Structure formats: structure tokens, C-alpha cells
Amino acid sequence: MCGICGWYIQEPQAGFEEQALQAMRDAMLHRGPDEAGSYVSARCGLGHRRLSIIGLSDGQQPMWNEDQTVVVVFNGEIYNYEPLKAELESKGHQFRTHSDTEVLVHLWEDAGPEMVQRLRGMFAFVIYDLKQEIVFGARDRFGQKPFFYSWNDQQFLFASEIKSLLAHPAVKPELNPAALDQFLFYQFIPQPRTLFKGIHQLPAAHSFLLRGGELTLHRYWQLDYQPEPLADEVGQQRILGELRYDIEEAVRSHLISDVPVGLFLSGGLDSSYIAAVCHRVLDQPLSSFSISFPGTKYDEQEYAETVSKNFNLKHHVFRFDPGDLQTWLEKAIRFFDQPLADSAALPLMLLSEQTAEHVKVVLTGDGGDELFAGYGKHMRASQSSAFVRLMQSSLPSWFATGNLAACEADPIGRRRMTARLARWGLPEHVSGYFKNFWEGWDRDRLYQPEFREQIPVPLAAIDDMAADLERPHDVLNRMLQIDCGDYLVGDLLLKTDYATMSGSIEARAPFLDHQLAEKAARLPLNMKATTFETKVALRRLAQQDLPEEIFKRPKRGFGVPVKQWFAGELSGWLKTQLVDESVATERYFRREVVEKYLAEHQRGQRNHASRLYALLTFELWCRNYLS
């Protein structure tokens, strides 16, 4: 796990020298405290911060091929690097290191842009081919590793984090109003936008090629959601046997490391099953790590401890209290570069900082819900209303999320009624339309009138952005496609990467092994979710290894008791941030609307915790980046 940055320019110009590259690189010191490296030529600069995991003594970057004509900077892990290395050596390529990074330069020589099809891992990398004068890069299939860039036809700058781009004099922080509108509706900023005008995310499962002044992006992979036929008991047993083997093989590959590996253990089904598999494949017990919220419904310690005792794990527990929220929220804004209204990022940062005292690598259960259908909404997939679907086919624009969520007034409540009708009768709308956050008519009242004029209509909706994908025929897989393609990458994986990197540790998600994911996507529908059960296949497997109280547990999100704290211990502090000392309210929001939401929440009239938390994270972001 590392941090990468750099540029490519058409003509040499001031500001693109070693000093600027060092500033970009060292803005990400936390991503790679072990080593730093750089390369600068008239046109290209490549910077790297290293967290040593594999090839500890000889994995320095940037890394070259034999004749110094191809160079790479790389963030991530290539889990199949050993068979790839053996194959490339058989073709005459000469390796000088034991690092997985070196595979990339030789694979580029062998396969060109098609090299990404051969990679099994999590990655973001950039290759500069000096002979062909080509810059090529890619981001892994699920977007586990971040990649941001800026491009203006003359200069291409890239980095693992936005703060690195902002360290270069050519990049200035300026708010993107369309991205703010998306953030308030979704609570995260969907790819490819960022909250900064002119800075973009390279979408997951995409590569780019820069040649002759032209930048082209290419989607190189997508999940095939064509399910196998519904399976009888014999068929289910066969599928479960294959799935058990595939998960075990994915976990084995994710345990490859030259440093100690641990496990984030929540006590939920996903991380608990990863613990069970590790227990089967390892000769010695892992160390496990979890967070507690004493005295709240979010505290899952009894379940985590049950699992740790069951598998003889060396378990460590760390507390997160109300007073920690202020401290870690301010830290999160500095590390994350953009507001993320997912309060679980805060205890995850604390957990990562404490875990770093014990291990450098942790396994997680990320992706289990999105691949195996683990949310309560997935049980509703079979409950479509024929009447509502007929209305949708007759009035498609009425039901389009971009129109329903558009920042416009709704004086007679027609859009509100249609949105509720869609969520009731069209289950896939639950994955794309989030009613508990700032809906379109709420945002229309929230914005200052002058700023409201800068907001585009309709909203750029995540389910509309999936239009370039082959859409599944069934409702459940349409939901999963949106969950995997947007919420997983835009919220969960970004949160995990930034939070763990803030503590200088690497997180690995075995469920997101793409070969395992391809098989999970094609599971029969009755092995994903039914009207009464989520994660059918995974629960059936877990019965063989986990206590009943674990594998039968309903889904409980990893979160913070924000509702309780905003109405109690933190109510005064929250008002100070959002009203009395606010920067954002003065520029973008109407004070009386913010005060109304605060008062309703603190009196217990309505639960506005998610909306207020989004405003709070944006407020702190404004102070850090736009003041």
C-alpha cells in the first residue's frame, strides 16, 4: 500500500520540477512512511511514498524494466504476481527484485493495455513508456485503490489523494456545485466527480491512455449478473462446495505478505466468516481488532468476542466515546480531502491508528453485503408492484431518479408521492434513491438563492450513470449492480482506504477478489436473497463454522450513535459549527433552514442526524479547503 503522484506535460514549463513533485509526494507521507522515490524528466514526473509489505528490501519505486525504457509507480497489491512472474521469466524477461511491482513493467511490454485483464488484486498505477511516449494507468475492478487526476489538454496530473494534487501550483481548490448537490443527496460523491472543480476520479474498472495529447478512458471489466437457474438441494450443495473453495482460495491469496497480517472483526457475518476461513488455512491464530461504543445499541463487542474465542484469536478492543467524535471528525476532513457523511469513518480511523501498533496489514469483510445480497432491502426484490411498473413504463421521466431527486421545489408534492411510490413498488429504486438524506425539494429550500442558480437539473443520478453497463434482467441483480458500482466504491471502499491509510496500515478485502466476485454475481437468485433471508449462500456456508448467534444475526451497520449524541452531549457544539461560526452557511445555505433542522432534531420531533452530519462534514471541509 502506497501513495503515487505525478504528471505528464506536452511541453516543458515552469512549476514542473523536482521540488513540486516532492511537495505532491510528501503530502501523502501517511500513505507510505517507510520510503520515498521520484523520477523527473522534461515531460514526466513520477512520485512514490512506500508502505513496505512485499519485497521489503528491494521494492523501491519508481521501478524500471531492464533497459530503463518503461517505468511505473504503483499503489496496491497484485495477488497473482508469482505465477505472472514465472510466466514472464519463461518469455525472457529479467527480474531484479522480489516485489509484485516489477511484474507491471514487464507485463506492459508483453501485453500493452490488455495487461489489466491479467491482474488479480487491488491497484492504481501509472506506467510511462519512454520509447512510445505513452502514459498508461488503471484502477482496480472495484475501486479499492483511489485515483484522482486533472487534465487540461496540456498537462495531466494524477495522485492517490486530492491533497497531493492541491500541493501542485497548477491546481487550485474551487467548489464544484454539481458535486455538492450529489453529496447532499447521496452522502458521498459518486465517481467520476469530486467536490473540486477540474479534479476527477478515474472510475473503478477503468484504464486510461495518454498519447499525442489525447486522453482516452476505457472500461476494461464489468460483472456478469446473468444468474444460474434456480437450484434444487443437490444443485445448492454443489454450488456451496465450489463457493467454499473459492472463498478459501481468495483468503489464502490475500494473506500473502512479508509483514504480520491481522483482521478487523465486527462480530457481523462477513468479518466472522473471514475469521473462520483464516482459522482453517493458517497454522497460527491471527490478531483481531474491533471498536466498541459503550452504552449504545451500536456496541457489538459481545459478538466479536464470541468469534474471537471460538477461533482462539488474539483480540484487541478499542473504545469510541462521544468526545472522540469532534477530534476524529477534524482529522478525517484533513485526511479524506472531501466530506464523506458516513460517520463510521471516524471509529475506523481510531481503530486503524491503534491497530498499526500491532500489524501493518488487515483483512476486512468489505463487499460481502454488495456481492451476496446482505441488506434488508434485498429481501424486497421479489415484491415489485405490477401497477407501479406499468406506471413507470407509461411515465418514465416521472420515475427517473435524476428527476425525482432534482433540486427543485415540489409545491403540490407530486415528486414526493412518486418517489415514495417508486420505493414501495419498484425495489431497485431503494438502491438509487435515498430518502433519508437531503431530497430535491429540501435542497431547493436549503441553498442560498444565488448559489441555487448554479445547481444543474436534473441530478446526475447513480442509477442513470450505470446506463453504459449491460443491465441485469431481474430486480435483485439490478440492485446489486448499483450497490457494487456506486455505493461500494464511492462510500465504503473510499472510507476503508483513507481511514486505514491515515494509520499507515493496508486493508485487504478477500470478498472483492474479482474471480470470486464473478462467481458470486452468477449465483442463482434463491441463493442470494429471498423474501425472508439475506445472504442465503453465505449463511449456509457459515453454519458449518460459526456459532448460531453469529450466522443468524440480522444485518447491523457499523456506525456511530450520531442521532443520540447530536440531540444530547454534542448539541451545543453542533449549533456552534453549523450556525454561530459557520463558513458554509454564510456562503451556500439559508441560516433559517439550518436552524429549523437543528431545532427539530434536538427537540426529538424528527431524526435529522444524517442531514446534519452531512452539513457538518461539508462545513469542516470548507474551512480546510476554501477559507
Pairing of strands 361-363, 44-50: unpaired
Question: Which residues lie across from 210 on neighbouring strands?
Answer: 135, 215
What is the residue whose three cell numbers read 497454522? Answer: 283
Cα 467 to chain centroid, rounded:
20
Angle, to 10 degrees, between the axis of helix 494-502 and the axis of helix 322-336? 100
74's grid cell:
504503483
Beta-ladder partners of 2: 50
Cell 427543485 belongs to which residue?
408
Query: Is 484 an active-site residue?
Result: no
Alpha carbon distance 88, 66 (integer Å): 13
Q: Which candidate in 2, 5, 44, 484 is catalytic?
A: 2
Residue 175 near residue 160 (C-beta atoms within 8 A): no
Q: List the beta bridge partners of residue 137.
A: 126, 208
Closest CA to 371 of 186, 262, 514, 252: 514
AA identity, residue 584: A
Q: Is 100 annotated as a binding residue?
A: yes
455 annotated ligand binder: no
Show the beta-strand stretches assigned E in 440-572. Answer: 506-508
Residue with cell string 487526476 = 149
Residue 466 DSSP one-character state: G
- How many Å apart are CA 210 and CA 44, to the nearest integer? 12
Total Cβ atoms within 10 A of residue 486: 24
Candidates 86, 197, 240, 219; CA nearest to 456 is 197
Q: How many CA atoms lie within 13 A of 523 on its CB side?
A: 28
Whether the CB-CB separation of 133 and 155 falls below 8 Å is answered with no
Distance of alpha carbon 275 from its chain centroid, rounded?
Answer: 22
Strand order in the sheet with 63-64: 63-64, 70-78, 121-129, 134-139, 206-211, 214-219
Instruction: Provide the grid cell at 60.
Output: 523501491
Cα 104 to Cα 132: distance, rounded to the nearest angstrom: 17
C-alpha 240, offset from chain centre: 28
Q: What amino acid occupies position 27?
A: A
End-to-end CA distance of the chain: 32
The full DSSP string for 371-399 is HHT-SGGGGGTT---HHHHHHHHHSHHHH
Rounded to 5 degrees, what angle do the CA atoms 272, 367, 205 make? 150
- Give the CA angle between residues 235, 236, 240 to the nearest 5°: 120
C-alpha cell at 373: 445480497
Tell me if residue 30 falls in helix, strand or coil. Answer: helix
Residue stretches of the annotated binding site for L-glutamine:
100
Where in the sequence numbering do the catalytic residues fall? 2
Residue stretches of the annotated binding site for ATP:
291
Residue stretches of the annotated binding site:
100, 291
